[in-house]
Amino acid sequence: MMKIAIEAQRIFRTNKHGMDFVALEAIRCLQKIDKDNEYFIFVADGEDRCLEESPNMHIVSLHCPSYPLWEQWALPRAVKKVGADLLHCTSNTAPIFGKVPLVVTLHDIIFLEKQSGRNPSLYQALGRIYRRFVVPKILPKCKKIITVSNFERQRILSSLGLDPEKVVAIYNGYDLQFHPMEDYKSVVSKYYEDGHYIFFLGNTDPKKNTAGTLKAYSEYVKKSNNPATLLLADIDTQAVKIMLKEIGEEEIFSKIKFSGYVPNKDLPAIYNGATAFLYTSFRESFGIPILEAMACGTPVVTSNTSAIPEVAGDGAILVDPTNPSAIASALLRLEEDETFRKSSIEYSLERVKHFSWESTAKNMLDLYETITVN
């Protein structure tokens, strides 16, 4: 039996994001499939107690005023105290000091790459600085490095010169709550009452291509006979106004609605209600929302760059994210060509069968066992 420590610092926060869900879902599946090893899940306090303890899985809350202190001071001391045989840090960074065998999930190395634009978010900018400082110091210590796609694995290997045997690609999955629904309108009405909308899940990070997507939406509106509203989630209204002014498309602001942060429990209904889902990033290491929308039977217009084609597959609606006209044309075709729309939905529902969190957890467990054996 192993004692496995897993860092999952942010999983109890209310407004969870990508890496939080990856950690949470993988841990939940490990809890189901592994009754032999003992787990210690290290978290920060939060209101969303979304994980319950079980006989071989213990939740350990650590209190610290900041993330760097939590990770660099509190976490290694707590891991040593429980006598862990292995520490898995799930969100790109890890303690610089410590003697426990280390596994790190390096979701991407975007923080080492040149940004495609200025990021107005101070929080994201500080996180980028922290990762640029910590990651080069921890990688030599890692027994294994998990990343989430073969694209990202190759990026890591070519950029950092690591031993190929050290870096393993383990795909993410999607939650089975994402599926076609008939009763979704009551949930959608909390965010947008009309119901005729295209959904875009983005933020102010330059890689998300929000400004380019807005430009594409404007072109779509001008050409469509019955343009759908653009529903934006988790993005500040003022930031969008600034972007629209910069690209000269201020007149479409009235066609945009803002949902604010959408809890994960409401996302299936939002996807189901959308006429299309836009995921037009310049750069992604995986792209879980692609799978979520596909699983709901929602047509997805997404990028032909980075890891996105690897996840979405050859039959997906892949467009050049630097070309707003290509994005607009895909939206118009989905609106005007019912055969194309149906075939996109059928393909999506088949594609998602290749991914699951159970498969993610099984691959992680196999990796843990190879490290402890060695």
- Per-residue DSSP letters for 267-302? HHHHHHH-SEEEE--S--S--HHHHHHHHTT--EEE
Handedness of CA 55, 369, 146, 42 (dihedral sign): positive
Looking at the chain, the number of H-run helices and the number of E-run strands are 14, 13
pLDDT tens digits for range 313-350 = 999 999 999 999 999 999 999 999 999 999 999 999 99
Could you tell me the domains of the chain? 3-173+356-373 (3.40.50.2000), 185-354 (3.40.50.2000)
In whole angstroms, give the CA distance from residue 173 to residue 353.
Answer: 10
Assess whether pLDDT exceeds 60 at residue 119.
no
In whole angstroms, give the CA distance from residue 25 to residue 164.
Answer: 27
Assess whether pLDDT exceeds 70 at residue 114.
yes
CA distances from 7 to 23, 76, 104, 159 (A): 9, 10, 10, 26
pLDDT tens digits for range 268-314 = 999 999 999 999 999 999 999 999 999 999 999 999 999 999 999 99
- What 3 state SS string does 30-78 have? HHHHCCCCEEEEEECCCCCCCCCCECCEEEEECCCCCHHHHHHHHHHHH
pLDDT the model gives residue 118:
59
Average pLDDT, the chain: 94
Long-range own/partner contacts, residues 241-246 (CB < 8 A, 24 or more apart): 243/210, 243/211, 243/214, 244/214, 246/211
Higher-scoring residue by pLDDT: 171, 371: 171
CA 341 and chain centroid, separation = 26
In whole angstroms, give the CA distance from residue 333 to residue 43.
Answer: 46
Per the structure block, which two tokens stand in for 370? 């190879």
% of the chain with per-residue pLDDT over 70: 97
Per the structure block, which two tokens stand in for 304? 């032909």
Per the structure block, which two tokens stand in for 252? 């479409």
pLDDT tens digits for range 179-222 = 999 999 999 999 988 889 999 988 888 889 999 999 999 999 99
As a dihedral over the C-alpha atoms of residue 265, residue 311, residue 111, residue 14, rounded to 10 degrees, the angle is 10
In whole angstroms, give the CA distance from residue 319 to residue 124.
Answer: 27
Residues 6+ apart with CB under 8 A from 94: 7, 71, 87, 102, 104, 134, 138, 141, 142
